[in-house]
C-alpha cells in the first residue's frame, strides 16, 4: 500500500515536470537544477556566475530553501528576476518538487528569459529523486565533504550532467586526493563532466561558463 502511494506521488510529479519542460521549451529557456549538500557553495557559485552573465545573458533564478530568503537576498544585487520557494509551509520538504517549480514559473517573466538557475534545497539525496522539468541537473561537491561522497550518495552524481568540484582553494590545507575523488565520480557516472572550481578565487569559472554555453547550444 505504502509503495503504491509513493509511486502515485512520483507519477504525479513527473506529469507536472513534463508541463514545466514544455513551457521552458516554448520560451527556449535552458534550466539548470543546482543541487548539493548544505554549504557546498551553490549560492557562492551563483554569485560568481551571475556577475559574469550580467548584461550578457537574460537569466532568472528560483531559490529553494526550507525557510528564509537569505540566499535570494545575496543574489538580489545582480538584478535578475528571482522567485523564492520556501518548503516549510508545505511540510518542510527536503527538495523542490515539479509543482513547486510550476508555481514559481508562473511568477517569472518567461518570454524575457534565456537561462534559469534553480538552487535546490541543500540535501545530497532527495533532490536527485525528483524531475522538475530542468534541462540538466548539476551537482556541487565541495572538497571538505570528502572523496567518498560520490560512492556513498551515488544517485545525485548519476542523475547529474555536470559536477562542480568546489572549494579547490582548500585542496592543499585539506589534503584532498583530487585524483581519487575524480576516480570515484567516474566509477559512479563515467559520462559526468567534472569541473574543478573555487567560488572564492574564481578558479574554473571560465570552464563552467563555457559548459553553460554548450548546454544552451544543446552540445553539453
Ligand atoms: N574557501 C571557500 N569557501 C567557499 C567556497 N564557496 C563557498 N564557500 C563558503 O562556504 C559556505 C557556504 O556557501 P554557500 O554558497 O552558502 O553554500 P550553499 O549552502 O550550497 O548555497 C560560505 O561560508 C561560503 O563563503 C569556495 O570556493 N572556497
Ligand atoms: Mg545556498
**pLDDT 10s digit of each residue in the chain, 220 long?**
567 777 788 899 999 999 999 999 999 999 999 999 999 999 999 999 999 999 999 999 999 999 999 999 999 999 999 999 999 888 888 999 999 999 999 999 999 999 999 999 999 999 999 999 999 999 999 999 999 999 999 999 999 999 999 999 999 999 999 999 999 999 999 999 999 999 999 999 999 999 999 999 999 9
Domain residues for 26?
A: 2-211
Evaluate whether residue 203 is within a structural domain.
yes
Q: What is the pLDDT of residue 118?
A: 98
CA proximity to 62, closest of 90, 38, 34: 34
Tell me the CA–centroid distance for residue 212 and ligand 1, in Å.
21
Evaluate whether residue 111 is within a structural domain.
yes
Q: Based on the structure, what is the number of domains in the chain?
A: 1
Which runs of E-coded beta strand occur in the chain?
A: 30-35, 59-65, 82-86, 115-119, 136-142, 162-166, 193-196
Tell me the CA–centroid distance for residue 65 and ligand 2, in Å.
8
* Overall pTM > 0.75: yes
Evaluate whether residue 217 is within a structural domain.
no
Evaluate whether residue 192 is within a structural domain.
yes
C-alpha cell at 104: 514559481
Evaluate whether residue 216 is within a structural domain.
no
Q: What is the CATH number of the domain that holds 54?
A: 3.40.50.300
Q: What is the pLDDT of residue 1?
A: 59
Evaluate whether residue 219 is within a structural domain.
no
Evaluate whether residue 134 is within a structural domain.
yes
C-alpha cell at 116: 534559469
What is the distance between the alpha carbons of residues 116 and 113, in angstroms, rounded to a whole number? 7
85: how many CB neighbours lie within 10 A of its CB? 23
Of 66, 168, 199, 201, the one to substitute when testing ligand 1's pocket (max ligand atoms within 8 A of C-beta) is 199
177: how many CB neighbours lie within 10 A of its CB? 12
Nearest ligand 1 atom to alpha carbon 36? 20
Evaluate whether residue 220 is within a structural domain.
no
What is the distance between the alpha carbons of residues 211 and 185, in angstroms, rounded to a whole number? 18
Amino acid at each position: 500500500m505504502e509503495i503504491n502511494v509513493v509511486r502515485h506521488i512520483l507519477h504525479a510529479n513527473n506529469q507536472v515536470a513534463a508541463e514545466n519542460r514544455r513551457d521552458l521549451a516554448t520560451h527556449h529557456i535552458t534550466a539548470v537544477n543546482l543541487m548539493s549538500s548544505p554549504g557546498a557553495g551553490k549560492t557562492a557559485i551563483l554569485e560568481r556566475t551571475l556577475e559574469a552573465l550580467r548584461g550578457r545573458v537574460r537569466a532568472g533564478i528560483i531559490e529553494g530553501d526550507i525557510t528564509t530568503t537569505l540566499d535570494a537576498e545575496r543574489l538580489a544585487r545582480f538584478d535578475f528576476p528571482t522567485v523564492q520557494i520556501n518548503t516549510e509551509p508545505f511540510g518542510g520538504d527536503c527538495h523542490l518538487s515539479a509543482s513547486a517549480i510550476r508555481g514559481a514559473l508562473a511568477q517569472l517573466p518567461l518570454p524575457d528569459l534565456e537561462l534559469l538557475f534553480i538552487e535546490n534545497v541543500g540535501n545530497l539525496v532527495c533532490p536527485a529523486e525528483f524531475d522538475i522539468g530542468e534541462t540538466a541537473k548539476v551537482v556541487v561537491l565541495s572538497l571538505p565533504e570528502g572523496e567518498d561522497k560520490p560512492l556513498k550518495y551515488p544517485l545525485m552524481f548519476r542523475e547529474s550532467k555536470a559536477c562542480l568540484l568546489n572549494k579547490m582553494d582548500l585542496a592543499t590545507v585539506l589534503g584532498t586526493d583530487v585524483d581519487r575523488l575524480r576516480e570515484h565520480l567516474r566509477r559512479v557516472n563515467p559520462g559526468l563532466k567534472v569541473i574543478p572550481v573555487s567560488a572564492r578565487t574564481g578558479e574554473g569559472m571560465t570552464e563552467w561558463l563555457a559548459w553553460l554555453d554548450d548546454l544552451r547550444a544543446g552540445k553539453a
